[in-house]
Amino acid sequence: MNWIKSPCPVLDESFKQAAIERQGQLTKPPRALGELEDIAIRMAYIQQLHKPSADNPAIAVFAADHGVAEEGVSAFPQEVTVQMVMNFLQGGAAISVMANRLNAPLEIVDVGILTELPAHKGLVIQRAAAGTANSANEAAMTEEQLQLALKAGYDAVERVIDTGADIFIGGEMGIANTTAASALYSALLGITPDQATGAGTGLDDKGIQHKISIVKKILAKHEDCGNNALEWLRCAGGFEIVALTGAYIRAVQCRLPVLVDGFISSVAALCAVRIQPDVNEYLFFSHVSAEQGHRLVLETLGHKPLLDLGMRLGEGSGAVVAVSLLQSACALHTQMATFAEAAVATKKQ
């Protein structure tokens, strides 16, 4: 697991400065494109290019089951995980439809669903185990399983690096994973389970209160983890959350911008930043989830979401919706004419 602590690339500030200067020369009033200008400047800086691009997104959805599901913390039964994975592969899920519209490659990675699946186009089988243990009673995974799940994320990024991908999107699927995420948010942000826990897949008020009680039990069981993000991932996380964390770190090590999805993906991003603080520079947050607690991690990491549409599906769906904003920002930055090129008079002094 030595790779996880390998440093992120040092970015040349001159690319940021050149992008800022170009924005000031384009045929528009200053700041007329608002936050699209900021996106383009950040993309140019991260990619270290004068012509940044988000035209080739790569999407990997990590799927796994959670032992804590046996505590009744989800509105849906655990078999929905494998059923949704099949839906992804057959093209019927939201992420499948939107990836197809983008003509973006979509890979589904089985990191540890309970039911072993046969080989299928678009499916990568890289299992740490058949689901995690119940984190309310014991550590969710062993150290070896943690490393296997991190490596699944690493490998997913390695597979797309040579394909010309210019932005990475990670998605997830796993019944009860909002419980794991809520525990991680509580532990790493120092917030209460009440602040970090929401309805997930559609719990009523009674269900939410029960879920909060389970999150409290998880936190009490593993309080010795302290502020160690890797230990919290091992004790309270899920294989898909761990894989996302590994993928985000590897993407940044490869200077690949990351477009983060919602509640679950963001807790993986938080873990990645706690392990490697320089990761934060490379993150774009696609939207703010309707799931309680998501705004708090965005505020903590100092990011503003690109969209606020009340989404809470996961899968990477919100990130795929937001890709067009990055594409538009980059296209405007690279293709608009400057005042000099268009022979347009600049603002009066």
Taking a C-beta distance cutoff of 8 angstroms, is the pair 165, 256 a contact? yes
| Residue 253, token pair as written in the block | 């090590």
Place of tokens 């502020």: 227
Query: Which of 235, 219, 229, 247 is CA-nearest to residue 107?
Result: 247
Strand partners, 258: 168, 283
Half-sphere exposure of 234 (CA within 13 A, CB side): 17
Half-sphere exposure of 80 (CA within 13 A, CB side): 14
| Residue 113, token pair as written in the block | 């669903």
Active centre residues (catalytic): 315
| Residue 19, token pair as written in the block | 């992008």
Query: Which of 8, 11, 99 is CA-nearest to residue 56?
Result: 99
Query: Which of 251, 316, 307 is CA-nearest to residue 280?
Result: 251
Query: Which of 286, 289, 288 is CA-nearest to residue 327?
Result: 286
Taking a C-beta distance cutoff of 8 angstroms, is the pair 237, 265 a contact? no
Residue 118 CB contacts under 8 Å (≥ 6 apart), including other chains: none
Amino acid letter, residue 7: P
* Strand pairing class (167-173; 283-285): unpaired
Total number of residues shown for the chain: 349
How far is Cα 268 from Cα 288, in angstroms, rounded to an integer?
A: 15
- Give the angle subtended at the CA of 27 by the CAs of 21 and 30, to the nearest 5°: 60
